[in-house]
Structure 1
Amino acid sequence: MRLARMLVIGVAATAAVGLAAAPAVAAPTDTTTVTFDVTAGTLDIDAPASADLGAGAPGTTIAGSLGAVTVTDARASGDASWEASVTSTVFTTGTGTPSQTILATEVEYWSGPATATTGNGTFTPGQATSDDAEPLDNVTPVVAFSHVGGTGNNSATWNPGIIINVPLDAEAGTYTGTVTHSVA
């Protein structure tokens, strides 16, 4: 019996050692879920908040610069074309009676050449010189600048001029109106 008991203990000890010595099952691969956002780029235009063109008498012109206008195209597009346009409201002083109003069509705009560009494609001013100035309107936009072709991001900056044709019957006062640049 003693031999049988030793044999049973020996078998049990061997079984216990065999279990402890067995290697763990390895994971040969593992996965990681990865996320990220791709944001849509934008097409933006930035123009000065205000411009003071000075003074002039009835029947003359008042001319000056609006300040730098910049289109930034960060859409990274395969066709990076865009067109910037400009409109104007009427300019008024006092109560805005007819003699206190300068119509938008009396306001002429010229973009001038680009003062800076980035990216590829063709950048074209709407009106390269003051001789090309176009009357503005509060309904129909005038092309200020355009970009055709090219790929990826681009930008253009220009310093537009504005000419106010002051009517002969304009009353004295500080006239205020809004020139709006848009890009699409």
Structure 2
Amino acid sequence: MRYASTAAAVAVLSMFSMTQAISATTTDTTVEVEATDGLNISSPANWTATAALSSSFATGGGTPAETISGADVDYAPGAAINPVNGPFVPGSPGDLGALRPAFSRPSGSGDNSVSWNPTLTVHVPAEAVAGEYTGVVRHSVA
């Protein structure tokens, strides 16, 4: 993720598409994440970027046994990478059952930028059926 701030105010989003393959015979899972080419956002000088699961990870018909909710997906923003004109504050790690702060710039003025590489951890419920699960984690800034 990369956030840049200038005088214009714009809210933009980034999406991660994640495929979660679950086997009925093992607890091991394979996770495949596709991300956009990064994200550049123009925002007022002080901003907060948030992360949310825009829809549950699902397979098949999306029945309860074919769904992994945001409460089972943990998000950790990690450390600031290449920060310019901070300060920048990472959000606290936690689940995506609700909108979660990813990173913020609580004070300062002028152009700024920061990148981070979030970590997603998916806790597969015991009742989940085998299948390929897909979902989208959305980032936005205001």
Q: What is the TM-score of this pair, normalised by structure 2?
A: 0.75
Q: Secondary structure at the match of 1:121?
A: coil
Q: Decide which of 102, 107, 126 is 1:144's aligned counterpart.
A: 102
Q: Whole-Å Cα distance in 1 between the matches of residues 82 and 13 of structure 2?
A: 14
Higher strand share: 2
Q: Does 1:165 align with 2:123?
A: yes
Q: Whole-Å Cα distance in 2 between the matches of residues 125 and 63 of structure 1?
A: 24
Give deviations 1:27-72, integer Å, cap 9, x for gaps: xxxxxxxxxxxxx624455635534566676656766777585453
Distance change >3 Å, CA 148–CA 61, structure 1 → 2:
farther
Q: Whole-Å Cα distance in 2 between the matches of residues 97 and 179 of structure 1?
A: 20
| Contact kept in structure 1, 2:15 and 2:136, CA below 8 Å | no
Q: Secondary structure at the match of 1:152?
A: coil
Higher helix share: 1
Distance change >3 Å, CA 179–CA 163, structure 1 → 2:
same
Q: Whole-Å Cα distance in 2 between the matches of residues 163 and 62 of structure 1?
A: 12
Deviation at 1:164, TM superposition (A): 0.4
Name the aligned partner's letter for residue 169 of structure 1: E
| Contact kept in structure 2, 1:43 and 1:74, CA below 8 Å | yes
Deviation at 1:97, TM superposition (A): 1.3
- Counterpart in the other structure of 2:74: 108
| Contact kept in structure 1, 2:9 and 2:42, CA below 8 Å | yes
Matched pairs, number: 133
- Counterpart in the other structure of 1:29: none
Identity among equivalent positions (%) equals: 36
RMSD of equivalent CA atoms? 2.8
Q: What is the TM-score of this pair, normalised by structure 1?
A: 0.60
